[in-house]
Structure 1
């Protein structure tokens, strides 16, 4: 924490960075839109809420009580006032620093505060300690949003993140995820949401949902399966990259068979411990032929990947233990060349704000950094 304080003062994450306009693609009967800038995304989300006629499902990990957070609060309240059914989920632990009064809505808005301490955490820490790290908005079965963006002014202009909008039948994937979570964790005072099922099947666009209470962790599996299939290139963007043994082996195996494997991470993230734990893998990755790129001057928080120009994922899960075997998460898995091409262009854009880390440069890093990495290495099972 002390190191992080000094690092933040010396290297504030406040530099401008390139962004792209929202880009649409069609997958089956569903239109997807990729967002890379918070202001663009928030305007689209608020427009959807303001246009709601029947219901709004809103779920977020962090919801700041600032100007942007207040705009969302106001839009949800206005929707409820005109007769829209509004359901809100937020994580209690992630918002401990936000005044509790901010989350006091009128009786016409149903609010589920995901508890930060739950019974059984000591007996079953894997099942009961995970946070609700998901970010979902669904409106009227017509439009849905999912991705890395939390809600707040910081994320609107100062963090590079990626979010996806769905319009069409595949919105059911996000609706179903919200309904299942709500019904699993609602209190007796909150109503049961109806599970409507879906007559539309879109195998090339599906949601993978981690549910630690049920020991279900499919997001890790979709990564492993996709990396094992790679024959040309792998492009991964992660805010916190602490791969477990199997994912590390899969990436090294792909590089050995000639796949161009590239991993883009922040040069400095907002969590110094996560950075130092991630760096514990850099030597192994670089020696194994994986290329590492460091995003400079700003925080990149995206959780995306593309493989071979065909397979893509956008969602809320980082490649670390907390996300892949700990938290409630959701990632969309998309097999579509147009979506992959869009995300590859975003990756190239982000490389323009990055520097490649070479093995020689890494091995010549300061002794202080090496000591720090060694000191925090016992924390790896926690992150």
Structure 2
């Protein structure tokens, strides 16, 4: 079996390499960012990287006190250098600047790019960061989070990494948040920094004005202490659904409990729709995801394949009231392995905007039917069977 899996993966990789070389990126729809009042703050949803980056850079340039910046991938390109230069400028004018990036996520980036002046505090996250002692019992975890918090007044969180590729060629979702939830996002960075940073690093103080109850909740996975609440937030929301569940995800490799929750929702008449990329940037993840299609379609769940661009969003909106935007994919790595962070928003206006964005994206999709899927080539069916045992790894 291992030999068959290796051959299958090698063949898929070759095919994917040829596809990417010949790929022509076409335009895809996006919604203009619109600020939506939520309780004592607001949420702005971004579906185009260029607009997001402009607002993030403006926030950095306007910082007067502190900046917390965290990303999984940080490219050494025009966009990546704009962020690096902006952070250095902020530090030079006296702003306390703290940055964290994942080493694994940036293996192809020259490490010289991550050389900063001493005025910028930089944390390199290694997969084993924060695990101390002779016996390691917990997942090491990649840092898959993407956040920017400025002056404890405004925060950005979502699926966008930092790079020119993502500015206008990938369809992703990010949120700008003001109000009480900013303190919770800042606290998430502070906790991470104080736990993971090496000895001698500055100790950060947690915000003291965090609200007990808010329509915007921050949910974060912390592998170093074995805490993974994002998975349970999805399970709880899906279980509560009575009308509709609309998901948009880059990689759809749910575990048994999540799969069952979606199937049971469809069985009780909930309108379950899922947007996934027709072809993502990870071909093995695509084929693992496709192994779920027959079961989902046979139970009435509708699948939409996004065309002409990589959809990298990690979002859901349920029953016109509950929505989530964040960094966690619906796969084992995100839900039970990585450092991840999502916001949950209980607000009808935000849900309406999320539904509008979902409808826009669905218009750029081809809906997959059960008959079409059952008639796929035999070679595809065999390949899916061969690599199915690899699901627990992703």
Q: TM-score, normalised by structure 2?
A: 0.94
Match of 2:357 among 346, 354, 372: 346
In structure 2, the residue corresponding to 1:340 is in which secondary structure? helix
Residue 392 of structure 2 is aligned to residue 381 of structure 1: yes
In structure 1, the residue corresponding to 2:139 is in which secondary structure? helix
Residue of structure 1 in register with 2:139 after alignment: 127
Shift in alpha-carbon separation, 1:233–1:64, aligned structure 2, 3 A: same
Task: Give the superposition deviation at 1:195.
Answer: 1.2
Shift in alpha-carbon separation, 1:86–1:33, aligned structure 2, 3 A: same
Residue of structure 1 in register with 2:51 after alignment: 40
Residue 262 of structure 2 is aligned to residue 240 of structure 1: no
Long gaps (5+) in structure 2:
1-9
Q: Distance in 1 between matches of 2:24 and 2:47?
A: 17
Residue of structure 1 in register with 2:100 after alignment: 89
1:194-214 per-residue CA deviation (whole Å, 9 max, x = no partner) reads: 012225344321100001111
Q: Distance in 2 between matches of 1:354 and 1:199?
A: 41
Match of 1:279 among 286, 290, 295: 290
Long gaps (5+) in structure 1:
none
Match of 2:122 among 106, 111, 115: 111
Match of 1:218 among 226, 229, 247: 229
Within 5 A, what are the aligned runs for 1:304-319?
Answer: 304-319=315-330
Q: Distance in 2 between matches of 1:237 and 1:139?
A: 28
Q: TM-score, normalised by structure 1?
A: 0.97
Is the contact made by 1:262 and 1:292 (CA closer than 8 Å) also made in structure 2?
Answer: yes
Residue 47 of structure 2 is aligned to residue 58 of structure 1: no
Two-structure CA RMSD over aligned residues (Å):
1.5
Residue of structure 2 in register with 1:9 after alignment: 18
Residue 202 of structure 2 is aligned to residue 191 of structure 1: yes
Within 5 A, what are the aligned runs for 1:150-229?
Answer: 150-229=161-240
Is the contact made by 2:250 and 2:313 (CA closer than 8 Å) also made in structure 1?
Answer: yes
Is the contact made by 1:28 and 1:202 (CA closer than 8 Å) also made in structure 2?
Answer: no
Runs of 4+ residues deviating >6 angstroms: none
Is the contact made by 2:70 and 2:147 (CA closer than 8 Å) also made in structure 1?
Answer: yes
Structure 1 stretch displaced more, 1-10 or 151-160: 1-10
